[in-house]
Amino acid sequence: MTLERTFAIVKPDAVKDGHMGEILTAIEQSGLKIVGLKLTRLTPAICQGFYHEHVGKGFYAELEAFMTEGPVAIMVLEGENAILRWRDLMGATNPANAAEGTLRKRFGASIGRNATHGSDKPESARFEVGYFFNAFEQF
Ligand code: RTP
Ligand code: MG
């Protein structure tokens, strides 16, 4: 039994559309524990640091415009295999390919506006959690 932590975002589309509560409920019902939570708004510079691996790609400008357009809910989630479990709950990056019942299927409109983010591996999770949350903000 090793507890793992991952980083999650309710993206601007889902906050604006009023799906934050349903997404938090889905997380809690899945057994993942919310151990950090804030409402914030990304600036372009913060977005570039966060998505550093995507800066320079063809879709980055669109990604930054979207991620900075309004408030986001950012979270630290904890549980056994939290990284994979949260990605399974979200579903595929493109909502059109996401399984029925997943969050991106339920709330995503397109590959660009896909409702949620989740860390993809332990090194990313460590970086992303630390990028947004200090020790006093994680329980
Ligand atoms: P995320 O990082 O947001 O959890 O998504 P992901 O791992 O499933 O996908 P990733 O490859 O890391 O891409 C990051 C985000 O960039 C947007 N994107 N747009 N228009 C496009 O072709 C395209 N490709 C990716 C998506 O919003 C994706 O979530
Ligand atoms: Mg990613």
Domains in the chain: boundaries: 3-133
Closest C-alpha residue for ligand 1 atom 11: 93
Type of residue at 62: E
- Greatest Cα pair distance, the chain, in angstroms, is 41
Predicted local confidence at residue 77, as pLDDT: 99
Q: Is 104 annotated as a binding residue?
A: yes
Span 118-123, mean pLDDT?
A: 98
Residues linked to residue 37 through DSSP beta bridges, in sequence order: 75
Q: What is the mean pLDDT of residues 36-41?
A: 98
CA dihedral 28, 32, 37, 43 (to 10 degrees): -110
Residue 125: the pLDDT is 98
> Which atom of ligand 1 is the closest one to the Cα of 119?
4
For residue 129, give the nearest of 2, 4, 5 by alpha carbon: 5
Catalytic residue flag (residue 117): yes
Mean residue pLDDT of the chain comes to 98
**Which residues are close to ligand 2, an ion, with C-beta < 5 A?**
120
Average pLDDT rounded to a whole number, residues 84-106: 98
Would you say the pTM of this structure is higher than 0.95?
Answer: yes
3-state secondary structure of 139: coil
CATH superfamily assigned to domain 3-133: Nucleoside diphosphate kinase-like domain (3.30.70.141)
**What mean pLDDT is predicted for residues 84-108?**
98
Over residues 45-79, the pLDDT tens digits come to: 999 999 999 999 999 999 999 999 999 999 999 99
